[in-house]
Chains A and B, each alone.
Chain A
Amino acid sequence: MESDFKLRAQGLTRDYAGTRAVDGVDIALAPGEILGLLGPNGAGKTTTLRMLAGTLAATAGTVTLAGHDLAGEPQRAKRHLGYLPERPPVYPELTVDEYLGFCARLHAVPRRQRREAIAAARADCGLEDTGRRLIGHLSKGYQQRVGIAQAIVHRPDVVILDEPTAGLDPNQLRGIRELIARLSRAHSVIISSHILSEIQATAARVVIMHQGRIVFDEPLGGTSAPVVEIALREAVTADSLTGLDGVAHATALDDHRWQLTPAPGCDIREMIAETAAGRGWGLLELGAARYSLEERFAALTSRDAPPREAAA
């Protein structure tokens, strides 16, 4: 199983002077997958990504890149990695071609393939016409593209992009989104953001971090079972609802309305309808509420949010 993942992190932990910034993070990235790392500012996203990229040593835990241990054989592991830090690491005094040439040499792209590699990276990032321009003269969106081109010029298995869409205008944003979607054809990608819509637009799987821990890790796109809202004529107790097979939580919305959270992987809609009819509860309404990522994000990352427990 280990070799099925391009990148695998286990128990990643990082302490800064006594405070724990990242605590026991596990991440596995399958080939061709786009993983969105989401979290409020200060959740530990950048620290996690820096540990995955090998620019920061983990206090505890291991990172394996394409089968190579990042701590044990860093040079080999890093060959399979492209990394765009929060601030694109570009030199304003160089032209795009000079810069990408340096990055290709830095990643030991053989001399014969270098020209093609640079041209391909430029084409992928929509930089065809900018090869001879100074990076310092490019707009922020284009500098960001140069940063991404740098991360893919050596065709790594894993591309890590830390907030690639920060500070871009809507048009540039769309361009970068399309670019990231294209990248997933040949690379596994991890992108981080604190903006939900960004992750929703690009990622296939979402990991939400809060206070250094992973609090949510699920594929996007409605494969998870929906939360069910029902309205009953008769008054019932929460216990009678949570006692049902497959119901994890029951929350009273008002005297007659309930919100039922299913246990992972259970679709409880049919069962609820049959039970309500059988017990004579008088089922007036039954609806599946698919909570948006935004609501789940808010619930998971707001510190004072009450836990979703059965209301008495």
Chain B
Amino acid sequence: MSVMLAIARHEWSRLFVSPLAWMLLAITQLLTGLLFALSLTDLSLNPQRIGEYDGVSELVGAGLFRFATVVLLLVVPLLTMRAFAEERKSGNLELMLAAPVSPFALVLGKFAGTMGYLTVMWALIGLMPLSLLTSTPLDVGLLAAGLLGLWLVMAAFTAVGVFISALTREPTLAAIGTLGALLLLWLIYALSTMDWQPVVLGTTLPLADAAEALSLIGHHDALLRGIFASADLLYFVIFTACFLALAAVRIDMERH
């Protein structure tokens, strides 16, 4: 446990002494901040649009969180490529493999360190809609569900990234691979919106339902609409745990 925390702390402090992490934080803030300002401007110019949504919280909050997910798609691969691929390339992974650390503690430590950084990013994004509390009543429950969803999406993306990072010794390859995998998760959601019901051997395959159940974005969408279901929560927990376990298995195979 203490070793896991040591690795998490190490990962976190290394992120904050690297220009990459600060640059990513700055660009994410710039992009999400611009979108936040734009949606507020849009709202003040066309106040009648509020009727189509569940108030300001959904129009501004959920819109912002959806956009943040897209930004994360690009940010997370750049962070997780450092976790194992870069360490392997620099030879520093040997340091941890020769230390009395189990592969699980190693993977969890790396994951926790990266999540610590992303949580800072998450808090900064969350503060934007919450700042409206000073001027208008907000549906805090809706925002909380959306924020929880955003954090869970971060964790799931990071788990995928850590796993792919554990597969290779080229950081760029890890980044591209993670980006591809995350976009693929996105595509599965697109499948669920298609009206396509293939019939195989006389039975209609529930393709759309299956795609929605599997897709990360589908589960996130429910949370963005303010629906807090334990099924969605469990989906994210299982998804994240699976990829972290796969990463640990891969690191254990490192010696062979």
Contact = CB atoms under 8 A, between A and B. Distances in A.
Given A55-B255, A93-B17, A102 B91 contact: no
12 contacts: A53-B98, A55-B98, A55-B255, A56-B255, A57-B256, A85-B91, A94-B14, A105-B6, A106-B3, A106-B6, A106-B95, A150-B95
A94 B97 contact: no
Interface in A183-219: none
Given A75-B102, A83-B98, 12 more contacts: A55-B98, A56-B255, A74-B100, A75-B100, A83-B94, A85-B95, A91-B92, A102-B6, A102-B9, A102-B10, A106-B101, A108-B100
A106 B10 CA distance: 10
A30 to B, nearest CB: 22
A106 B8 CA distance: 11
Interface of B: 2-3, 6-7, 9-10, 13-14, 17-18, 90-102, 254-256
A54 B17 contact: no
B98 A108 contact: no
Contacts of A93: 14, 17-18
A200 B6 CA distance: 39
A106 B94 contact: no
A225 interface: no
A89 interface: yes
A290 interface: no
Nearest to B98: A83
A2 B91 CA distance: 33
Nearest to B99: A106
A108 B254 CA distance: 23
Given A57-B256, A106-B6, A85 B100 contact: no
B96 to A, nearest CB: 7
Contacts of B9: 102, 105
B233 to A, nearest CB: 33
Nearest to A150: B95
Contacts of B10: 102, 105
A132 interface: no
A103 interface: yes
A105 B255 contact: no
Interface residues of A, number: 29
B36 to A, nearest CB: 32
Interface of A: 50, 53-57, 74-76, 78-79, 81, 83, 85-87, 89-91, 93-94, 98, 102-103, 105-108, 150
Given A87-B91, A93-B18, A108-B3, A81 B255 contact: no
Contacts of B94: 50, 53, 55, 83, 85, 89
Given A106-B99, A106-B101, A89 B3 contact: no
B135 to A, nearest CB: 42
A83 B91 CA distance: 13
B96 A106 contact: yes
B93 to A, nearest CB: 8
Contacts of B255: 54-57
Contacts of A53: 94, 98
B102 A106 contact: no
A54 B102 CA distance: 12
Nearest to B93: A89
With most chain B CB atoms within 10 A of its CB, the pick from A55, A79, A103 is A55
Contacts of B17: 93-94
A81 B6 contact: no
A47 B94 CA distance: 13
Closest 3 CB pairs of A and B: A105-B6, A89-B95, A83-B98
A93 B15 CA distance: 10
With most chain A CB atoms within 10 A of its CB, the pick from B13, B91, B100 is B100
A107 B92 contact: no
A93 B11 CA distance: 12
A78 B98 contact: yes
A83 B95 CA distance: 8
Contacts of B102: 75
A78 B18 CA distance: 31
Contact of B100 (A50, A56, A78): A78
Contact of A105 (B3, B95, B97, B256): B3
Nearest to B17: A93
Contacts of A79: 100
A56 B253 CA distance: 10
With most chain A CB atoms within 10 A of its CB, the pick from B9, B13, B18 is B13
Contacts of A56: 255
Contacts of B3: 105-106, 108
Contacts of A76: 100
A179 B90 CA distance: 26
Contacts of B18: 93
With most chain B CB atoms within 10 A of its CB, the pick from A79, A83, A90, A102 is A102
A50 B9 CA distance: 27
